[in-house]
Amino acid sequence: MTDIFAKHAGLREAYEGLTAASPRNPFEVVIERPISASVGIIEGRETLLFGTNNYLGLSQSKKAIDAAVETAETMGVGTTGSRIANGTFGLHRKLEAKLAEFFRRKHCMVFSTGYQANLGTISALVNKDDVLLLDADSHASIYDGAKLSGAQVIRFRHNDPVDLEKRLARLKDHPGAKLIVAEGIYSMTGNVAPLDKFVDIKTRYGAYLMADEAHSFGVLGDHGRGVAEMQGCEDGIDFVVGTFSKSLGTVGGYCVTDHDGVDLMRLCSRPYMFTASLPPEIIAATMAALEDMQERPELRIKLQENAARLHAGLQKVGLKTGEHVSPVVAVTLETVDQAVGFWNALLENGVYVNLSLPPATPDNRPLLRCSVMAAHSPEEIDRAVAVFGEVARHFGL
- 256: β partners: 108, 240
Give whichever of 209 and 287 is closer to other proteins, judged by the CB atom: 209
Among positions 7, 28, 44, 364, the unique one binding other proteins when judged by CB under 8 A: 364
Single out the segment in contact with other proteins by CB under 8 A; choices: 51-59, 154-162, 252-260, 318-326. Answer: 154-162
List all residues 6 or more positions away from 382 whose beta carbon is below 8 Å from its beta carbon. Answer: 309, 313
Among positions 92, 105, 139, 167, the unique one binding other proteins when judged by CB under 8 A: 167
Instruction: Give the containing element (helix H, strand E) for 240.
Output: strand 239-243
CB 183 within 8 A of CB 214: yes
As a whole number of angstroms, the distance between CA 138 and CA 103 comes to 23
List all residues 6 or more positions away from 317 whose beta carbon is below 8 Å from its beta carbon. Answer: 385, 388, 389, 392
Query: Does the protein bind other proteins through residue 358 (CB under 8 A)?
Result: yes
Residue 153: CB minimum distance to other proteins, A: 4
Query: Does the protein bind other proteins through residue 152 (CB under 8 A)?
Result: yes
Query: Does the protein bind other proteins through residue 170 (CB under 8 A)?
Result: yes
As a whole number of angstroms, the distance between CA 210 and CA 121 comes to 9
224-254 per-residue burial string, b: 16 or more CB within 10 A, e: under 16: bbbbbbbbebbebbbbbbbbbbbbbbbbbbb
Give the per-residue contact string, 51-90, with other proteins (x = CB under 8 A; - = no): ----------------------------------------
Helix (H, G, I), strand (E, B) or coil at 385: helix
Give whichever of 275 and 338 is closer to other proteins, judged by the CB atom: 338
As a whole number of angstroms, the distance between CA 28 and CA 90 comes to 38
Widest Cα–Cα separation across the chain: 62
Query: Does the protein bind other proteins through residue 359 (CB under 8 A)?
Result: yes
Other Cβ atoms closer than 10 A to 105:
20
Single out the segment in contact with other proteins by CB under 8 A; choices: 147-155, 212-220, 304-312, 380-388. Answer: 147-155
Residue 274: CB minimum distance to other proteins, A: 24
Give whichever of 41 and 153 is closer to other proteins, judged by the CB atom: 153
Give the per-residue contact string, 283-312, with other proteins (x = CB under 8 A; - = no): ------------------------------
Residue 15: CB minimum distance to other proteins, A: 14
Among positions 24, 63, 155, 324, the unique one binding other proteins when judged by CB under 8 A: 155
Query: Given the rule CB under 8 A, which residues bind other proteins?
Result: 131, 136, 146, 152-155, 157, 167, 170-171, 358-359, 364
